[in-house]
């Protein structure tokens, strides 16, 4: 039993089964008390946050963590496609020396294959006080290495995109399980009931879809909310064009009045009251969500910081700035997608472009979080679904030189709340083919992320399909070297 | 033979190898402790009352234990025995429940007896009570207030109520009963006319006649078919790439048909597990095998994932067992060793999932309604053709631009242009689009959209839908596993099934033969895989899965009938007698009503596995007809807050599909066309763009079909369905969640769908009730709720409608638009917003929207 958590999902048995009637697992917002009957309608339409008492029954109400944690929010910067670790955060001088020579067969290499080693086309240099080496792809981001903990020894189970991406997000290589963000808001709830707890900022080039932010078998309220970057941010957040707010309010008044009449004649009130209250909340969200995403309110200097004034950096900059605004407002988990790191050929050009797109916005995000005092309570995670091979699968013509997928090695970094800054963890072999020192699996990565957010992966369980399930299956090992 | 000895016989069966006499002889004298048990325990735990399934009249019964904790005594281990734990209060509630605790001496004697019991082997320890017992109809309990007992169901319910000093509620009103029947059986509300007819019918038999009428209504199969589709994780797309399974709709229609025909459930089981092995089932058997499809898989182990899924889903759906745990290790809670998991899998080892030609029958849409069929076909073929033409034209234009660009070496941005082939090919274009050179953002987006629209496996608008094909399966003697794909390592499994340590395909253990679960049969012998032909000669059976199907569909199977009657109960009362309908094992909820389940199950089998006969029984019981009000509500609620014992009706919320269908039915727009390929809902553009697929919404008329027929794309579920706790498409869903969350407001109060249907309802009301606001209000309530407004609602409503001011002006406009434009209400583009709805005090359409959003609209009282 998850003893650190409220008993949201006990084993259903006659003794401790769901203590409710069929209609109501307690996944609603507000129960009991005076209910809505005693509330004046003027209150209904006011924009006030829920008091602690009112939100106590919400499945998204803030929950005490298992462990003391510094980080309250998490921003996961997902680099879809798989950045080459030897081209970003894991310098491999030996590989450069062997550039163009025949690779001496990794474990997965077919016998007799004549693949050639490719040294990274990107120069590495020591950055910051910690002197961590970062490639020239990230001139701005490199300034922030003293805030980072870089792990160079991760490995995963699949070297194809769909499975690898699912594994990184769900802990399993197939769809159907809850995502990291869903687990997090299931465990911790959220600080701001007027905004979604778990938001997703998409990249249209990312094709693996909503299964990666799915609630899986957790209740639907824990699913990630996809925010559209242009137009209305959430589907049906607002009524169709032509329906004014005053007309909506009049309609809401009628619904509430009639629902209240109905409530009086009904012996069991909880769910009915919750539903009445939801209309009020939804009405409030219609303004709170666009307000949170309104970047026009940001001063020019800030927009510049995120690279919003440059066409190349604008898309990522916009998402990073949105992420910061949501962190400020207490959103628990924000997943920012970047994509197209899958450089099978044209490594130099393709990785350069991805670097260009993301370097300034991410550096801007770290700087902005830092200057606002938010970095200490925000965990920033950067990484893709796997690393890349030291060899080219497509020959060595300069223009077509590229790298294949590699599940045996990848690099990621953390920054912010609870992270041990300026550290490097683990190592790959001399060519970067395989993590060899302090190897960590994706389950370990997930356990560490949860830990930094105050959750014990072993205790974060949900009873489903005959047993307690968890993100890390049988549990992960903490990457202790990354934790302050 | 005294009935109470039966459990012990079963125990012996399971133990199998152990000679029963040896065990019986070595049991220390029970007589020493029997008086203590008689004095304190047997009032509730004799064979007549057997509370929570526990009987303490004999050592065998104590070893057998109850529903909740399994064996009450663990031989040689009194400190761990549940009996002692409860008697000492270390487990709560302390026993006896009413009365003084036992003295230390009494407890010590019992403990001493337990400690002298010879230890049992591990296998024996795993013996559980119900439901691992032979199924036989129990005696119908006697009750005091027997005038309340309409049929034996009531006797079982009332007996429990009386023993708990509870009493049932009086029957609900005729109006509420009819609403219950409609939503329960067909998933739609009654019309005002149907309601008037029923409530004014003085015939005492009217209620029964309504049940029969609704069971004959083809909507019944749609409603109950949907429940079954939840269990078999039905989706219109595969579980890997989320690409279309273009013929799987035929399995969906097969399920609907099976329920409508009241096909015997044992046959329904056989068809879905091994339908191709029963020539007498014809094409239906082949369609039933659609059950085996729909696996969620990773690209790393398609075949292995498929086998796992088939084993797990078969166990969950038919046996109510969670077998998934035993894939990697012995089941921790139920007596299912890992070996049994792979013995079960071995039945399916030669199964080849395939797409095969199966002619359409006269019961399927092409046979029943050829016009609807041809129209649908023509629509998508035309669309696909247009899309392809558009794509060709556009890509030609893009390529031309690429070609030209090669000669403009000076322009800065073009340095990044990828090297091109002599003339640009698709690969070049793809790279240009990905890199964002030469194409602006809209053009890049367009490029990706066109690819999704026309690439075969991403595009669900496939003319393949209309081919007489089916996703079926066959036993492949030639061991052609291609359709199941590769395993890790790229090689097909050999025909032998191995126990895989930790579920890891690389860690092969012992080879196993197909065999039934030892917990149910009492032995681990391989199943006989021969059958006797017409010529009297026995020969190896072609498809071992047939042997499994026979075993599951047998009346001797301990679980099949129990599991199914529990599901039927579940969908009438909102939860099963076992609340975890996919898990009858130790980790499931267990039940307070094992006897009622057994009685229903025995009756089910005797009725020829007729699901409809179960409905009749349950719906005609007084238990079902209770009101949700009770004169003793406050007192009883303290005793039984969850209404576990059915002393009143518990309110239910409609599922997502029933909510949507009800809105359409009330607005008058519901299209009752049955069967055929699914329709494509209108999904928000931004959601669609981010999805792995793309589809053009079906024409409005088709979109107004029942939600059952909505295309089930795993990763792109209609928000209305998703937020109202729609089923999880990736694995068997035993029971929908019921959550009440804010985004539900968006889909029912803000969405285009809700607004369109509100206007349609308003138009309908004006057409049926005229211009008078009072009449309009009456008709609105009748249609939505099948009742008149209360005086207070009436005054609110009239005030909202602007009282004396006639408000039909702008609605007439809507009506005329609807009449003239053929579905223009559903498609309001081009009509200026200001003209569509005037921002007045309120309009009839707004009032209709309010009705759709009422609690009363979506809860069954």
Integer-rounded Cα radius of gyration of chain B: 31
Quote the percentage of chain A above a pLDDT of 90: 57
Looking at residues A215-222, what average pLDDT do you find? 86
* pLDDT tens digits, B665-709: 999 999 999 999 999 999 887 778 777 788 889 999 999 999 999
Per the CB < 8 Å rule, is A22 touching B731? no
Contacts of A245 in chain B (CB under 8 A): none
Q: Enumerate residues 694 to 723 of chain B having a beta carbon within 8 A of any beta carbon in chain A.
A: 714-716, 719, 722-723
Q: Which uninterrupted H or E stretch holds B392?
A: helix B370-405
Closest residue in chain B to residue A280, using alpha carbons only: B742
Looking at residues A464-473, what average pLDDT do you find? 84
* pLDDT tens digits, A265-294: 888 877 888 888 889 889 988 889 999 999
**Cis-peptide into B506, omega within 30 deg:** no
Residue A440 has pLDDT above 80, yes or no: yes
Question: pTM for the full model?
Answer: 0.79
Question: B455 in contact with A at a CB cutoff of 8 Å?
Answer: no
Looking at residues B752-770, what average pLDDT do you find? 95
Per the CB < 8 Å rule, is A20 touching B642? yes
Question: A59 in contact with B at a CB cutoff of 8 Å?
Answer: yes
Residue A261 has pLDDT above 50, yes or no: yes
Classify burial at A289, counting beta carbons within 10 Å of its beta carbon; exposed 0-12, middle 13-18, buried 19 or more. buried
Cα B200 to chain centroid distance, Å, stands at 36
Q: Enumerate residues 668 to 687 of chain B having a beta carbon within 8 A of any beta carbon in chain A.
A: 684, 686-687
* pLDDT tens digits, B65-96: 766 666 788 877 888 888 988 898 888 788 88
Predicted local distance difference test score (pLDDT) of residue A4: 32
Residue B181 has pLDDT above 90, yes or no: yes
Higher pLDDT among residues B51 and A370, named by residue:
A370
Per the CB < 8 Å rule, is A14 touching B591? yes
Higher pLDDT among residues A356 and B805, named by residue:
A356
Of B445, B746, B834, the CB nearest to A236: B746
Cα–Cα distance measured from residue B153 to residue B622, given in angstroms and rounded to the nearest whole number: 8
- CA-angle at B257, arms to B252 and B259, nearest 5°: 100
* pLDDT tens digits, A16-47: 333 345 433 333 322 222 223 223 222 333 32
Contacts of A163 in chain B (CB under 8 A): 298-300
Question: A258 in contact with B at a CB cutoff of 8 Å?
Answer: yes
- CA-angle at B510, arms to B508 and B515, nearest 5°: 120
* Count of helix runs (H) and strand runs (E) in chain A: 11, 19
For the ranges B183-192, B319-328, B694-703, the maximum mean pLDDT occurs at B183-192
* pLDDT tens digits, B569-625: 999 999 999 988 999 987 777 899 999 999 999 999 999 999 999 999 999 999 999
Predicted local distance difference test score (pLDDT) of residue B486: 40
Predicted local distance difference test score (pLDDT) of residue B67: 63
Q: Enumerate residues 154 to 193 of chain A having a beta carbon within 8 A of any beta carbon in chain B.
A: 157-158, 160, 162-163, 166, 173-176
- The three-class DSSP label of residue A252 is helix
Of A18, A242, A267, the CB nearest to B633: A267
- CA-angle at B476, arms to B513 and B251, nearest 5°: 105
Per the CB < 8 Å rule, is B800 touching A254? yes
Cα–Cα distance measured from residue B86 to residue B107, given in angstroms and rounded to the nearest whole number: 11
Residue A337 has pLDDT above 60, yes or no: yes
Residue A334 has pLDDT above 90, yes or no: yes
Closest residue in chain B to residue A256, using alpha carbons only: B854
Higher pLDDT among residues B621 and B445, named by residue:
B621
- Per the rule left: phi > 0, alpha: psi between -120 and 50, beta: everything else, B778 is alpha
Cα–Cα distance measured from residue B456 to residue B448, given in angstroms and rounded to the nearest whole number: 14
Of B448, B579, B747, the CB nearest to A236: B747
Contacts of A13 in chain B (CB under 8 A): 68, 588-590
CA-closest candidate to residue A419, choices A386, A387, A382, A384: A382
Question: B523 in contact with A at a CB cutoff of 8 Å?
Answer: no
CA-closest candidate to residue A216, choices B401, B728, B86: B728
Predicted local distance difference test score (pLDDT) of residue B20: 35
- The three-class DSSP label of residue B497 is strand
Higher pLDDT among residues B826 and B69, named by residue:
B69
Closest residue in chain A to residue B744, using alpha carbons only: A278
Per the CB < 8 Å rule, is B842 touching A254? yes
Orientation angle between helical segments B265-274 and B544-552, nearest 10 degrees: 160
Per the CB < 8 Å rule, is B642 touching A466? no
- List of domains in chain A: 73-234+287-482 (3.40.720.10)
Higher pLDDT among residues B819 and A385, named by residue:
A385
Predicted local distance difference test score (pLDDT) of residue B426: 67
Looking at residues A427-436, what average pLDDT do you find? 96
Per the CB < 8 Å rule, is A235 touching B589? no
Per the CB < 8 Å rule, is B691 touching A28? no
Closest residue in chain A to residue B415, using alpha carbons only: A349
Closest-CA distance, A484 to chain B, in angstroms, reads 35
* pLDDT tens digits, A75-130: 999 999 999 999 999 999 999 999 988 887 555 555 556 788 999 999 999 999 99
Per the CB < 8 Å rule, is B642 touching A216? no
Quote the percentage of chain B above a pLDDT of 90: 49
Predicted local distance difference test score (pLDDT) of residue B834: 36
Closest residue in chain A to residue B446, using alpha carbons only: A204
Question: A266 in contact with B at a CB cutoff of 8 Å?
Answer: yes
Predicted local distance difference test score (pLDDT) of residue B302: 78
For chains A and B, CB pairs below 8 A equal 279
Residue B555 has pLDDT above 80, yes or no: yes
Looking at residues A395-410, what average pLDDT do you find? 81
CA-closest candidate to residue A225, choices A186, A190, A182: A182
Contacts of B590 in chain A (CB under 8 A): 13-14
Question: A30 in contact with B at a CB cutoff of 8 Å?
Answer: no
**Cis-peptide into B382, omega within 30 deg:** no
CA-closest candidate to residue B286, choices B306, B272, B307, B266: B272
Contacts of B750 in chain A (CB under 8 A): 236-240, 282
Per the CB < 8 Å rule, is A219 touching B737? yes
Report phi then psi at A134, rounded to 5: -130, 145
* pLDDT tens digits, B482-511: 334 444 333 444 468 889 988 888 888 888
Average pLDDT, chain B: 83
Question: B225 in contact with A at a CB cutoff of 8 Å?
Answer: no
Looking at residues B724-744, what average pLDDT do you find? 87
Q: Enumerate residues 66 to 105 of chain A having a beta carbon within 8 A of any beta carbon in chain B.
A: none
CA-closest candidate to residue A107, choices A429, A370, A455: A429
Predicted local distance difference test score (pLDDT) of residue B706: 98
Q: pLDDT band at residue B421, thresholds of 50, 70 and 90? A: low
Q: Enumerate residues 381 to 440 of chain B having a beta carbon within 8 A of any beta carbon in chain A.
A: 416, 418-419, 431, 434-435
Most A CBs within 10 Å, among B742, B800, B825, to test the A interface: B742
Residues near B164 by beta carbon (within 8 Å), at least 6 away in sequence: B639, B640, B645
């Amino acid at each position: 039993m998850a003893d650190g958590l409220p008993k949201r999902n006990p084993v259903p048995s006659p003794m401790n089964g769901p203590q409710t009637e069929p209609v109501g697992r307690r996944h609603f917002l507000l129960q009991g008390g005076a209910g809505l009957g005693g509330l004046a309608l003027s209150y209904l339409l006011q924009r006030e946050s829920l008091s602690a008492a009112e939100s106590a029954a919400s499945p998204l109400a803030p929950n005490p963590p298992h462990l003391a944690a510094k980080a309250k929010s998490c921003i996961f910067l997902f680099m879809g496609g798989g950045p080459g670790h030897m081209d970003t955060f894991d310098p491999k001088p030996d590989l450069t020396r062997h550039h163009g020579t025949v690779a001496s067969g990794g474990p997965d290499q077919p016998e007799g294959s004549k693949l050639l080693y490719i040294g990274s086309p990107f120069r590495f240099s020591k950055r910051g006080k910690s002197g961590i080496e970062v490639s020239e792809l990230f001139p701005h981001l490199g300034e922030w290495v003293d805030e980072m903990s870089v792990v160079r020894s991760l490995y995963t189970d699949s070297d194809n995109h769909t499975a690898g991406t699912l594994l990184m997000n769900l802990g399993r290589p197939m769809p159907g399980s809850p995502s990291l963000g869903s687990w997090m808001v299931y465990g911790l709830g959220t600080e701001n009931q007027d905004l979604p707890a778990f938001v997703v900022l998409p990249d249209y080039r990312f094709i693996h879809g909503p299964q990666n932010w799915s609630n899986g078998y957790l209740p639907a309220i824990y699913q990630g909310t996809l925010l559209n970057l242009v137009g209305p941010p959430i589907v049906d957040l607002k009524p169709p064009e032509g329906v004014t707010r005053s007309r909506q309010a009049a309609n809401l008044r009628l619904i509430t009045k009639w629902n209240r009449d109905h409530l009086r004649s009904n012996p069991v009130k909880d769910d009915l009251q919750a539903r009445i209250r939801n209309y009020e909340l939804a009405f409030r969200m219609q303004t709170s969500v666009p307000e949170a995403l309104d970047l026009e309110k940001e001063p020019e200097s800030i927009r510049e910081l995120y690279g919003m004034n440059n066409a190349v950096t604008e898309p990522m900059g916009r998402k990073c700035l949105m992420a910061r605004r949501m962190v400020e407002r207490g959103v628990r988990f924000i997943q920012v997608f970047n994509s197209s790191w899958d450089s099978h050929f044209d490594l130099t050009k393709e990785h350069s472009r991805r670097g260009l797109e993301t370097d300034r916005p991410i550096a801007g995000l770290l700087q902005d979080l830092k200057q606002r005092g938010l970095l200490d309570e925000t965990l920033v995670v950067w990484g893709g679904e796997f690393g890349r091979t030291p060899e080219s699968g497509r020959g060595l013509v300069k223009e077509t030189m590229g790298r294949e997928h590699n599940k045996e090695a990848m690099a990621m970094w953390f920054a912010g709340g609870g992270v041990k800054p300026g550290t490097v963890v683990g190592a790959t072999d001399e060519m970067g083919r395989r993590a060899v020192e302090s190897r960590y699996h994706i389950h370990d990565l997930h356990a560490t992320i949860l830990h930094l957010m105050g959750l014990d992966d072993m205790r974060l369980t949900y009873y489903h399909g005959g047993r307690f399930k968890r993100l890390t299956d049988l549990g992960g090992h903490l990457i202790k070297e990354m934790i302050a | 033979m005294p009935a109470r000895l039966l459990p012990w016989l079963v125990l012996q069966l399971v133990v199998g190898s152990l000679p029963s006499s040896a065990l019986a002889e070595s049991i220390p004298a029970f007589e020493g402790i029997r008086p203590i048990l008689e004095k304190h325990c047997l009032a509730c735990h004799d064979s007549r009352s057997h509370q929570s399934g526990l009987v303490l009249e004999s050592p065998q019964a104590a070893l057998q234990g109850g529903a909740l904790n399994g064996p009450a005594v663990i031989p040689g281990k009194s400190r761990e025995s549940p009996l002692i734990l409860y008697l000492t209060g270390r487990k709560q509630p302390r026993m006896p429940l009413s009365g003084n605790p036992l003295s230390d001496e009494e407890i010590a004697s019992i403990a001493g007896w337990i400690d002298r019991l010879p230890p049992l082997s591990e296998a024996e320890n795993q013996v559980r009570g119900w439901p691992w017992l032979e199924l036989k109809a129990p005696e119908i309990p006697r009750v005091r207030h027997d005038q309340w007992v309409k049929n034996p169901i009531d006797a079982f319910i009332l007996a429990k109520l009386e023993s708990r000093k509870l009493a049932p509620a009086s029957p609900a009103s005729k109006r509420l009963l009819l609403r219950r029947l409609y939503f329960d059986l067909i998933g739609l509300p009654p019309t005002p006319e149907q309601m008037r007819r029923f409530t004014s019918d003085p015939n005492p038999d009217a209620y029964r006649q309504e049940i029969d009428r609704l069971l004959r209504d083809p909507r019944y199969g749609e409603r109950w078919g949907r429940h079954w589709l939840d269990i078999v994780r039905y989706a219109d797309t595969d579980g890997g790439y989320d690409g279309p399974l273009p013929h799987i709709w035929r399995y969906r229609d097969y399920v609907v048909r099976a329920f409508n025909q009241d096909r015997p459930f044992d046959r329904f089981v056989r068809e879905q597990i091994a339908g191709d092995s029963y020539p007498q089932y014809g094409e239906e058997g082949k369609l039933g095998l659609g059950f085996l499809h729909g696996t969620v898989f990773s690209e790393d182990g398609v075949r292995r994932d498929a086998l796992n899924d088939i084993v797990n889903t078969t166990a969950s759906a038919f046996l109510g067992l969670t077998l998934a745990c035993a894939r990697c290790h012995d089941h921790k809670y139920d007596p299912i060793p890992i070996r049994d998991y792979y013995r079960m899998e071995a039945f399916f080892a030669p199964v080849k999932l395939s797409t095969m030609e199966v002619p359409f029958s006269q019961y399927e849409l092409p046979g029943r309604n050829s016009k609807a069929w041809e129209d649908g076909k023509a629509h998508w073929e035309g669309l696909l053709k247009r899309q392809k033409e558009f794509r060709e034209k556009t890509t030609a234009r893009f390529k031309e631009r690429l070609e030209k660009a090669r000669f403009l070496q000076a322009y800065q941005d073009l340095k990044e242009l990828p090297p091109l082939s002599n003339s640009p090919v698709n690969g070049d274009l793809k790279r240009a689009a990905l890199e964002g050179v030469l194409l602006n953002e809209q053009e890049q987006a367009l490029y990706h959209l066109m690819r999704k629209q026309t690439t075969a496996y991403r595009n669900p608008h496939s003319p393949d839908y209309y081919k007489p094909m089916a996703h079926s399966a066959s036993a492949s003697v030639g061991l052609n596993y291609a359709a199941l794909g590769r395993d890790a390592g790229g090689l097909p499994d050999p025909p032998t099934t191995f126990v895989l340590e930790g579920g890891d395909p690389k860690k092969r253990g012992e080879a196993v033969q197909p065999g039934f679960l030892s917990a149910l049969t009492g032995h681990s012998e391989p199943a006989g895989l021969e059958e006797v032909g017409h010529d009297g000669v026995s020969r190896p059976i072609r498809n071992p899965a047939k042997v499994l199907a026979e075993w599951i569909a047998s009346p001797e199977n301990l679980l099949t009938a129990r599991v199914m009657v529990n599901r039927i109960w579940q969908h009438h009362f909102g939860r099963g007698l076992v609340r975890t309908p996919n898990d009858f094992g130790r980790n499931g909820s267990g039940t307070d009503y094992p006897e009622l389940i057994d009685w229903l199950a025995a009756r089910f089998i005797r009725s020829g596995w007729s699901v409809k006969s179960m409905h009749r029984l349950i719906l005609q019981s007084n238990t079902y007809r209770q009101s949700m009000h009770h004169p003793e509500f406050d007192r009883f609620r303290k005793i039984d807050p969850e209404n576990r014992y059915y002393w009143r009706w518990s309110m239910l919320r409609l599922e997502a599909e029933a909510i949507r269908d009800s809105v359409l039915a009330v607005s008058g727009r519901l299209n009752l066309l049955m069967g055929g390929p699914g329709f494509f809902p209108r999904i928000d553009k931004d959601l669609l763009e981010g999805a792995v697929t793309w589809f053009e919404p079906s024409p409005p008329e088709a979109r107004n079909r029942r939600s059952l027929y909505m295309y089930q794309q795993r990763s792109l579920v209609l928000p209305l369905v998703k937020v109202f706790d729609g089923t999880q498409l990736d694995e068997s869903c035993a029971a929908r969640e019921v959550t009440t969350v804010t985004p539900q407001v968006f889909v029912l109060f803000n969405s285009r769908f809700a607004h369109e249907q509100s206007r349609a309802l308003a138009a309908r009301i004006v057409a049926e009730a005229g211009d008078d606001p009072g009449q309009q209000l009456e008709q609105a309530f009748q249609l939505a709720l099948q009742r008149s407004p209360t005086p207070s609602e009436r005054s609110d409503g009239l005030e909202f409608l602007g009282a004396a001011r006639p408000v039909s002006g702008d609605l007439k406009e809507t009506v005329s638009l609807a009449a003239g434009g053929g579905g223009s209400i559903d498609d309001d583009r081009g009509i200026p917003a200001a003209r569509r709805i005037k921002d007045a005090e309120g309009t009839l359409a707004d009032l209709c929207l309010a009705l759709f959003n009422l609690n009363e609209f979506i809860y069954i009282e």
